[in-house]
Every structure is written in structure tokens, then in C-alpha cells.
A and B are shown apart, each in its own frame.
Chain A
Amino acid sequence: MKNTDAIRGDWVQIHRTILPPEERSNRVPQDTKEVPLEMWVNGFLSRESAKIGDEVEISTNVGRTEHGILQLVNPGYEHSFGKTVPELRQIGIQLRDILREELK
């Protein structure tokens, strides 16, 4: 078993609870008040080595120090163009038919 997940200078993501439910503003809706206000930030790991779940410090893109629980090493982006929405295929077909008629 590995005894380290990240070493100093690795690009990592940390997570921290900023406000627990009991400290949330009285002005937020009830469903929001029942959950904490959470934060995620990416940066370079400051300490020698750490494991996922450790409380760590990072240095962010602007050199700011932030602390929190180590959650990911080399965090990336996985958003995409999604599963096909078949309805969208129909819109173009319909509009091309209308245009053929209108521009005749």
C-alpha cells in the first residue's frame, strides 16, 4: 500500500467547510440552511508529502495559502458535450424545410 498520494509541488484539490449548517445566514432558504457552505480550491501542495484525507496547505495560482482536506491529485475537468439529445436533431430538419419553402 502506498503511504503517500502527493508530494510537495503536486497540483491538488482541497476541500473545506466554510460554514457548518448552524452558522449559516438566517436569510437562506431552509434546504440550504440544512447543509454546510463548502469550498474547493486547486493549488500546489506545500508539505513534503500527504495522503488523501489529510489536512494540508496549498499555494494557489496567485500564491495565496489555503488549507483544507486533500481530495484529489491532478484534478482535471470532465465536463463534456453530454449524451445526445435527439430532439435537437429535429429542429434543424424542420427549419431547413421551412427555409426551402420560404426562399423558393
Chain B
Amino acid sequence: MSMKKTTHEALMSRKGEIIRKAVGIDYSEFESGSIAFDFEKMMSSTGYSLEEIKSIQRETGVGNTPLYELRNLTAIARKYAPAGKGARIFLKDEASNPSGSFKARRAATSVYHAKKHGYKGVIAATSGNYGAAVASQAAMRGLDCIVVQECYDSRRVGQPEIIEKARKCEAYGAEVMQLSVGPELFSTFLSLLETTGFFNASLYTTFGVTGIETLGVEIAQQMVERTGKVPSAVVVTNAGGGNLTGTARGLRAAGAESSTVIAASVNLAGLNMASDSQFNRKSFTTGHTGFGIPFTTFPDRSDVPRSAARPLRYMDRYVTVNQGEVFYMTEALARTEGLERGPAGNTSLAAAFSIAQEMDREETIVVQETEYTGAGKHVQPQLAFARENGILLKFGNPRDEEPGTNIILPTDPSLIRIRDLDLGELRSSYIRHSIEFAQQQLEAAGRGAAVRFDDKDIRFLADETRMNEKEVRSAIRTLGLE
């Protein structure tokens, strides 16, 4: 066997070949050679049917989580809502999954697929709940598991939330490789895939994303049982986009086409996710705009050539909330509803509390997930950690919060107010990224000509952004990319 070079550049240059072996998908068969690729063909030819996924998840105890009606938080929201307003708030308790989050749904299909295709183990690059989910599913199915985490800054100070997840992964028998801050994590991850021959349990393959469709189906069915109707709105915490994509597809599959799908992220504007000195100045490690916006406006930045998570295809609205608002609502959930859950999962709860006040009293809004809580991963240690790292914590108006400088807990619940992101801007940014990406692909293939797009590409961009073809053409003109 010849020794292969393992420098960052050498590994990155073998990326395509390594990933193909590690996910067993040849993505080239979905490509058109220009901007368009066949998303639905990718989803159906490499994924599993909804019925198969339900049965795979039933084998390992995933899904069928409880749905709670949050009567006390609804009452508080109605206090601040105009007359006749204040939708009933429901919460899907995904913390009840085996590894404590909805990520078990994503991991279940991936690990099942890896085992079926003879892989000896699975690898996931994640600092979040997904690592624990893959480790738990791998333990159930008798596969080895490696989780690669970005964990520490150069002082070797780690986010307590990430350290807790390392503990949980080790509890399930996984190897946990902890790295300091930096996107070169990806070449270390490629090197591990190459040397072990393990399956890349990516968050962004069809296996992972179709695994979440059952969550959308359950929400629709449980709401019909409980209220006689599908929900008026569903709020989804958004980072890489898979949670939103899978849930929305599941809602549609269950006949809940009328439900408004709202993405929510924690506002971390101004913080650089690859910065060593800013790493511990944020109090959320996922569900924030630092992932949410880049992945919404360019999904194909993940660890597979084409991501199955394409949130712009499904979102009706995208809102942000501030760190202080989410911490406040986490405490509120424990104190008024008797449910102690992890902060990151409550991003959509904070958004729903505000959005419910715009909606009629007869309407319903579902908070689509919760996550487990414990040492390190809890409102108390996360705020104590922020304070120890020089972040000013105080009561005030969350509007004045500056990520990385302070965290402002609302003086009272009336100050919890979502901010809408401009979907038009996000769509335009998506189109710009898609065209630039296609151009880079052409250049990488030694075909330096300018990207040309035909009707098929315009149709694709329209599907990707939920605009009509005329709007796509107009956006391209405005961007000067004709």
C-alpha cells in the first residue's frame, strides 16, 4: 500500500474520492453540469421511504415523543397580545428521544444504512447533540463510532455545553477527538474517514434529512388528534437547515401544507465562527445565525457535495431572537411549565412566544423541538460561563444586546420580540452563491468559460428559492450576473 500524503492541502484535494467512499453515493449522477441538480431524484434514489424510516426508528426507540400544550406560557403571551390575539402554544418534546434530542432521528437512518452496507463504524464531525445521537445509535447497532469536536480555544478553555456532549459520546462508547478552533477540522475528519474506512454519518446526506420527516408527520397527526386541525404554524430552530427541511417535508407528507413553517435562529451577528478569541464569547454553539444564514444562502458548504438540507425551499419566514431572550424563556419553561430543557432547543420557544401574540386566539403554534439538559448544558452554567469570560449579564431591553459583549435578559416578557430577516435578501444571496459555485466548479474542471444557464437552471433556482421564474431572472439581472 502506498503512503498517502496527509497534509491539509493533500487531504482537501482527495476530498471528493474520500467522501464518495465514506457515504457510498456518487453525486455526479444528479448533476446537470451547470447550476441545476436533481434534488428530488437525490432524495428518492438514495433515501428511504417514510414507512421504512418509521420502522428503522421504531427498532431503536426513536420518535413518538410527547406533545405538550404550554397553557401557562400561552396565558402569559396573551397578557401582552392585542385583544383577540394569542395563539395556543404547543411543544414537541424531542428531549424524550434516546440520546436526548431530535438528532436521534437523523442518526437512526444513517447508522442503519452504514450497518446494512457493511461499514464497521461511523464518524461524525459535530460539537452538538448529533454526536451523542450517532454514538447512541451506533451503540444500539453494535458499530464503532468516532466524534470529532471543535471544543477548545487556544487557552484550552472549552464551552461547558460542548464538554458535556463529549462526556455523553464517551458514555455511549465513542472515541471523541477534541480539537481547538478552526475549519481545518475538516481535513482531520477526512483523514479519519480515509484511515478507518468508516461511514460518514453526515448531517447533510439524504439519510440524515429524511430521518427528520417523521417529526413533521408526528406533529401534524398529534395536533389533529389534540385540536382537530393541523397546526397554523410550526417554529423550527435553524442552523444547518436539515431540521427545517425534514420537518417541512414531513408536514407536507402528512397533509399539513397549510402550516406556516418559520425558521428561528439566535442572533450572533458580528461574531466570527472561526475566530479563536471569539469562540468563548458566544453562549450558543448551535441554532444561531453564524450557521443559519450561511447554510440558508449556500447549503452546499457542508461535508457532502450536495446537501439534502435546503431550507430556503421550505421556509415561509425566518426570524431571529437574542441570547438573553432564549435564556429567559428556558428559565420560564422550567418555572411555569415544569419542563427543564436545554437552552439551544428553546430558540424556537422564544420565537413562538413572540409570534403567538401576532396570531388569533383560535390559531395554534408548535415549538418543534426540545433538547436534554444537564451539567454544562443548562441555562445556569452557560450564563455563569459567559460571566466568567467577561460577558456583561444584566436585565434590560434585549434590543440593546451586542453578541460577544453582553447578554440582556428581558426586564419583563413583553420585551421578547422576534426580528424578521428579509427573505428577499436571503434569496438573492442564495442565487449569487449558486452562480459563483457553478463558476468555481467549471474552473476546477478546467473549463474556464462563464457559466451559462438555461431554462432548467432558472426553474431550479425558482424551486430552491420559492420565487417564480420571472423573479429569478430579475434577481440575476439586479446582481449583474446575467
Tell whether, in the assembled complex, residue B179 and residue A37 are in contact, meaning their CB atoms are under 8 Å apart. Answer: yes
Shortest Cβ distance from residue B191 to the other chain A in the assembled complex, whole angstroms: 9
Tell whether, in the assembled complex, residue B160 and residue A82 are in contact, meaning their CB atoms are under 8 Å apart. Answer: yes
Tell whether, in the assembled complex, residue B8 and residue A35 are in contact, meaning their CB atoms are under 8 Å apart. Answer: no
Residues of A within 8 A of B378 (CB): 81
A-facing residues in B348-381 (Cβ within 8 Å)? 375-376, 378-381
0 or 1 for each of A29-48: is its CB under 8 Å from B? (1 = yes): 10110111111111100000
Q: Does B276 contact A (CB under 8 A)?
A: yes
**Known interface pairs A25-B182, A40-B178, A79-B164; A88-B275 also in contact (CB < 8 Å):** no
Residues of A within 8 A of B154 (CB): 35-36, 38
Residues of A within 8 A of B152 (CB): 38, 40
Residues of B within 8 A of A39 (CB): 177-180, 188
Shortest Cβ distance from residue A103 to the other chain B in the assembled complex, whole angstroms: 6
Residues of A within 8 A of B395 (CB): 87, 90
Q: What is the CA–CA distance of A23 and B167 in the complex, to the nearest angstrom?
A: 31
0 or 1 for each of A61-89: is its CB under 8 Å from B? (1 = yes): 11110000000000001011111110110
Tell whether, in the assembled complex, residue A81 and residue B8 are in contact, meaning their CB atoms are under 8 Å apart. Answer: no
Tell whether, in the assembled complex, residue B174 and residue A32 are in contact, meaning their CB atoms are under 8 Å apart. Answer: no
Count of interface residues, chain B, beta-carbon cutoff 8 Å: 66
Q: Does A1 contact B (CB under 8 A)?
A: no
Residues of A within 8 A of B167 (CB): 77, 79
Question: A31 contacts which of B146, B163, B275 (Cβ < 8 Å)?
Answer: B275
Question: B336 contacts which of A28, A42, A99 (Cβ < 8 Å)?
Answer: A99
0 or 1 for each of B156-173: is its CB under 8 Å from A? (1 = yes): 100010011011001001
Q: Does A94 contact B (CB under 8 A)?
A: yes
Q: Which residue of chain B has the shortest Cβ distance to A94 in the bound complex?
A: B412
Q: What is the CA–CA distance of A79 and B160 in the complex, to the nearest angstrom?
A: 6
Binds A, one of B75-83, B417-425, B469-477: B75-83
Question: A24 contacts which of B170, B184, B196, B382 (Cβ < 8 Å)?
Answer: B184
Q: Does B181 contact A (CB under 8 A)?
A: yes
Tell whether, in the assembled complex, residue A63 and residue B144 are in contact, meaning their CB atoms are under 8 Å apart. Answer: yes
A-facing residues in B61-116 (Cβ within 8 Å)? 72, 75-76, 78-79
Tell whether, in the assembled complex, residue B76 and residue A102 are in contact, meaning their CB atoms are under 8 Å apart. Answer: yes
Residues of B within 8 A of A85 (CB): 379-380, 383-384, 387, 393
Q: What is the CA–CA distance of A101 and B393 in the complex, to the nearest angstrom?
A: 29
Shortest Cβ distance from residue A35 to the other chain B in the assembled complex, whole angstroms: 4
Tell whether, in the assembled complex, residue B276 and residue A32 are in contact, meaning their CB atoms are under 8 Å apart. Answer: yes
What 18 new A-B contacts, CB under 8 Å, besides A38-B154, A79-B167, A80-B381? Answer: A18-B188, A27-B183, A28-B183, A28-B184, A29-B276, A35-B154, A42-B176, A60-B146, A62-B174, A63-B144, A64-B175, A77-B167, A79-B375, A82-B381, A82-B383, A95-B336, A102-B76, A103-B75
Q: What would be 10 A-B contacts, judged by CB atoms less than 8 Å apart?
A: A18-B179, A29-B272, A35-B180, A61-B170, A62-B145, A79-B163, A85-B393, A94-B412, A98-B413, A99-B72
Query: Which residues of A are interface residues toward B (Cβ below 8 A)?
Result: 18-19, 23-25, 27-29, 31-32, 34-43, 60-64, 77, 79-85, 87-88, 90-92, 94-96, 98-99, 101-103
